Structure 1
Amino acid sequence: MKITRSDLIKVCDDFIKNKIDKIDVENFASEMIYMDDDFEDEIVAAIIFEWDNEIINYEINEVNVKLWKKWLQTDENKLLEHNSWNVHIEPQKNICEKYNSLWKPINKKFKIGISDNWNENPINGLRHSQQEGTTGWFIWSGEYSDNNDFFKPICAEHLLQIRPEIIKYLGLEIGFRFLVDNKGYEDVWKDENIE
């Protein structure tokens, strides 16, 4: 039996609709490998092997399953960008060089402040001085607010799954700001009033 992209897309859809869970996805992959079935192409084979062992591959979660589905539909693999902090280091250095900033990387385990509307565009970022356990970064969309509950703390590494495209700005020095959108607009500047 040949395992096709359509077969895997159905598995993805069933997972996204909560008809199956990650154990079912792992079992499906293990069965396909055990049966030594023929795979439609290298992408199908790669995904089957990734699903077979979550410990050494990507976590089977909603974000990653949607990325696998997109890979099957478009040949565009964005899994590394959404799962590895290290792939963002060179882009951070490039942004710093482009905007005359020293590269000041953050600890991905430290907190950033993020607004509830983080998934809207454009998105703003501002880096203050670090406090204990924080990066100094504040991320928001829409109108800024001084309300105490405007920013919620999350570990910086959670941006991998929710907004990986902004990680390249997080190496900028204290006082830097950015305003970017999903259509390619980018404005980065140093705010001399921020310490």
Structure 2
Amino acid sequence: MPVTRQDLIQICDQFLNDEISKEQIENYAWTIITSEGELTDEIIDETLIDWDNENMNFPINKANMQLWKKRLTTGIDELPQHNIWNVHIDEQKEICKRYNSKWTPINNKLLIGVSDNLTAEPIHGLRHPSDKGTTGWFIWTGDYSEADDFFKPMCAEHLLQIRPQIIKYLGLDIGFRFLADSNSFEDIWYDETLKQVD
């Protein structure tokens, strides 16, 4: 009997509810790929291929599983946006051009300073000169605090899964700030004082 989108949605739900493991999903995908022959639904094909080899595709984790479920349910594919840094490069360049900033990309393996609860609204960001091992970016939601533990270090690439919509701002040059929310509000401005770090 052919595999349906509903079958795969059920697999997504089982994983999200901790009823099956990543290894069981990989084995399931391999079994279907090698036994079903040619499938006729492109989204089913892509999902099974993604699940068959996470080292070549996307990590099998709860954040991505929600995105696979969304793709199976709606046809909307947000997996690249949440997993591939370079998907955001053109948008970074466009924002820099619009706000008269030199495009100054960061190494996504370096650290940014982040506050707790990056899913809250609105989200703020500012860029100081980088220090060793850091990008110079500080990102927070809610009220800003001078407390020593307000910002915690996070590898920049982890923002892809938490808040991919802000990656487009991280090519702005030192001295730039942004304020944005998920309702398309956006304010970007240059602040000379950010170039001086105490």
Give TM-score, length-normalised by structure 2. 0.96
Measure, in 2, the Cα distance between the counterparts of 1:57 and 1:137.
28
The CA RMSD over aligned residues, in Å, is 1.0
Match in the other structure for 2:161:
161
The alignment partner of 1:157 has SS state of helix
Q: Please report how far the alpha carbon of residue 37 of structure 1 lies from its aligned counterpart in structure 2 after TM superposition.
A: 5.4
The alignment partner of 1:154 has SS state of strand
The alignment partner of 1:2 has SS state of coil
Tell me if structure 1 keeps the 8 A contact 2:114–2:154.
Answer: yes
Match in the other structure for 2:107:
107
Match in the other structure for 2:132:
132
Task: Give the structure with the larger helix fraction.
Answer: 2
Measure, in 1, the Cα distance between the counterparts of 2:175 and 2:120.
23
Superposed counterparts of 1:1-195, under 5 Å? 1-36=1-36, 39=39, 41-195=41-195
Q: Please report how far the alpha carbon of residue 39 of structure 1 lies from its aligned counterpart in structure 2 after TM superposition.
A: 4.0
1:49-78 Cα offsets, whole Å, 9 max, x none, are 111111211111111111000001111001
Tell me if structure 2 keeps the 8 A contact 1:4–1:40.
Answer: no
Tell me if structure 2 keeps the 8 A contact 1:4–1:44.
Answer: yes
Q: Please report how far the alpha carbon of residue 99 of structure 1 lies from its aligned counterpart in structure 2 after TM superposition.
A: 0.3
The alignment partner of 1:104 has SS state of coil
Shifted more, 34-43 versus 143-152: the winner is 34-43
Measure, in 1, the Cα distance between the counterparts of 2:50 and 2:146.
44
Q: Please report how far the alpha carbon of residue 90 of structure 1 lies from its aligned counterpart in structure 2 after TM superposition.
A: 0.9
Tell me if structure 2 keeps the 8 A contact 1:5–1:40.
Answer: no
User: Residue 81 of structure 1 aligns to which amino acid in structure 2?
Assistant: Q
Give TM-score, length-normalised by structure 1. 0.97
Measure, in 1, the Cα distance between the counterparts of 2:186 and 2:60.
32
Q: Please report how far the alpha carbon of residue 38 of structure 1 lies from its aligned counterpart in structure 2 after TM superposition.
A: 6.3
Q: Please report how far the alpha carbon of residue 41 of structure 1 lies from its aligned counterpart in structure 2 after TM superposition.
A: 1.4
The alignment partner of 2:187 has SS state of strand
Tell me if structure 2 keeps the 8 A contact 1:121–1:181.
Answer: yes
- Unaligned 5+ residue runs, structure 2? none
Q: Please report how far the alpha carbon of residue 108 of structure 1 lies from its aligned counterpart in structure 2 after TM superposition.
A: 0.6
- Unaligned 5+ residue runs, structure 1? none
Tell me if structure 2 keeps the 8 A contact 1:4–1:39.
Answer: no
User: Residue 115 of structure 1 aligns to which amino acid in structure 2?
Assistant: S
Moved over 2 A (4+): 37-40
Identity %: 55
Q: Please report how far the alpha carbon of residue 192 of structure 1 lies from its aligned counterpart in structure 2 after TM superposition.
A: 2.0
Count of paired positions? 195
Q: Please report how far the alpha carbon of residue 45 of structure 1 lies from its aligned counterpart in structure 2 after TM superposition.
A: 1.2
